[in-house]
A and B are shown apart, each in its own frame.
Chain A
């Protein structure tokens, strides 16, 4: 009677406190049937990696509007890897300039989503890139 749900951590690293986007996405993911662990604002990369570890999530979703994504996102990826969490999908949502998208991917971010991304896009991306063992 195995019951396996995809678990997603939604976190806002850094200092901007605009959490509406993160909350809307968290709600969207909840409505899509995922288990969403919402951590709230002003999270350090250490806090995010540690929460991801304790919660044993499949996906870490970072919401950033501050412009600090090039510093914070690679740091989260680094910490996740250092803890042995290579198998966690790491995605970013927010205001990310086009020229930074490839750089973030090179730094280990699996997906970048801008404003206006639909629920379907998120859900399709997650379900097609997280494989749940039977």
Chain B
């Protein structure tokens, strides 16, 4: 079908130094390329992040999570517009799943975000999970760091449509919104552990749909049982939830998780939601909780980097074929996975 031979394109080679300068100087093209380097974990990615990291730490990071079809993308769009009306700039990272079979992905969050097109104060990037299971991709936190260094006031991270246990967003965001929609489940769903527990703000979107009152009641009941306003502390690297002792912690100083109603398609409740997010930000600063969450976030980042590097070193040190050989031994019950792992690691 093609007559003359078409050209072959190669992604632009930009030096890490030029990318850093571009990100800090507000060059959108170079920002986009820097994000790719970080997402692809190219050899210069860590130099890039090292140079950008000192410039990060100013943005407020908002996580948006919830089941597929609850209206996350539409709500993110409406929230971004609400922030823009306040003169704030917004970076968005939206994550969709990678196919476990082909490695391909269809990233469709832009379909709902067309209202943000043409606004220089918004930068939106779609990411595929690339095998991660926690609702984000491995490099989402690093991409947020790049956007943070680029100077965006607010960064909204939209997770993949999640089920019940994908709570990784809570260690990436300062304020986590969990989005529900009417008619998705009964009271028992609401009292199960997991995703609802990470909410700083619970949102019932599509509030104009039937079943609204029941959903609202179920969520509010859940909050009552929970003993609203628990705190999180770090304990041996684990996020630990503690109910604060009553005497040392008066009611007014604790953050109250409330259920908010929105209809993202016509902006109902969106301005109130934005104000609630800002109130949470304010509370984080005032209560000292922000420092705590930052500690958690950094500890998490550090752990991930160390783990990835250890994995790489171990993989690099295992002679080719050794793994296959061990698998065969184990399959024939001549060895077992526990001893094999110990053997292998003792050689590394």
B125, CB-defined interface residue at 8 Å: yes
0 or 1 for each of A94-108: is its CB under 8 Å from B? (1 = yes): 000000011001000
Q: How far is the CA of A112 from the CA of B107 in the complex (A)?
A: 24
**Which single member of B1, B8, B107, B123 contacts A37 (CB below 8 Å)?**
B107
Name the residue among B11, B33, B111, B123 with the largest chain A CB count within 10 angstroms.
B11
Please determine whether A38 and B103 come into contact, CB atoms closer than 8 angstroms.
Answer: no
Q: Could you say which residues of chain B place their CB within 8 Å of the CB of A65?
A: none
Q: How far is the CA of A45 from the CA of B318 in the complex (A)?
A: 51
Contact A33/B104 with A3-B41, A55-B126, A110-B6 known, Cβ cut-off 8 Å:
yes
Contact A129/B7 with A30-B99, A54-B123, A87-B12 known, Cβ cut-off 8 Å:
yes
Instruction: List which A4-46 residues lie within 8 A (CB) of chain B.
Output: 4-5, 26-27, 29-40, 42-44, 46
Please determine whether B8 and A38 come into contact, CB atoms closer than 8 angstroms.
Answer: no
**Which single member of A36, A105, A128 contacts B106 (CB below 8 Å)?**
A36
Interchain nearest-CB distance for A87 vs B (Å): 5
Please determine whether B108 and A30 come into contact, CB atoms closer than 8 angstroms.
Answer: no
Q: Could you say which residues of chain A place their CB within 8 Å of the CB of B248?
A: none
0 or 1 for each of B1-40: is its CB under 8 Å from A? (1 = yes): 1111011111111000000000000001100110110001
Contact A26/B125 with A46-B118, A55-B32, A84-B29 known, Cβ cut-off 8 Å:
no
A77, CB-defined interface residue at 8 Å: no
Which B-chain residue is minimally distant from A51 (CB atoms)?
A: B110
Q: How far is the CA of A84 from the CA of B2 in the complex (A)?
A: 26
Please determine whether A36 and B2 come into contact, CB atoms closer than 8 angstroms.
Answer: no
Size bracket, chain A contacts: 35 or more
Interchain nearest-CB distance for A31 vs B (Å): 5
Q: Could you say which residues of chain B place their CB within 8 Å of the CB of A88?
A: 9
Q: Could you say which residues of chain A place their CB within 8 Å of the CB of B43?
A: 2
Q: Could you say which residues of chain A place their CB within 8 Å of the CB of B124?
A: 54
Q: Could you say which residues of chain A place their CB within 8 Å of the CB of B32?
A: 53-56
Please determine whether A37 and B99 come into contact, CB atoms closer than 8 angstroms.
Answer: no
Q: How far is the CA of A37 from the CA of B124 in the complex (A)?
A: 12
Q: Could you say which residues of chain B place their CB within 8 Å of the CB of A39?
A: 110-111, 114
B130, CB-defined interface residue at 8 Å: yes
Please determine whether A36 and B105 come into contact, CB atoms closer than 8 angstroms.
Answer: yes
Q: Could you say which residues of chain B place their CB within 8 Å of the CB of A114?
A: 1
User: When A and B form their complex, which 7 residue pairs have the shortest distance between CB atoms, in order from nearest?
Assistant: A40-B111, A56-B32, A30-B104, A47-B117, A33-B104, A131-B10, A56-B36
Q: Can you list 23 residue pairs at the A/B interface with Cβ under 8 Å? A: A1-B41, A1-B308, A1-B312, A2-B41, A5-B40, A30-B99, A38-B107, A38-B108, A53-B32, A54-B28, A89-B9, A105-B3, A105-B4, A110-B6, A111-B6, A112-B1, A125-B6, A129-B8, A129-B9, A130-B8, A130-B9, A130-B10, A133-B11
Question: Which A residues form the contact surface with B (CB < 8 A)?
Answer: 1-5, 26-27, 29-40, 42-44, 46-47, 50-51, 53-56, 58, 83-85, 87-89, 101-102, 105, 110-114, 117, 121, 125, 128-133
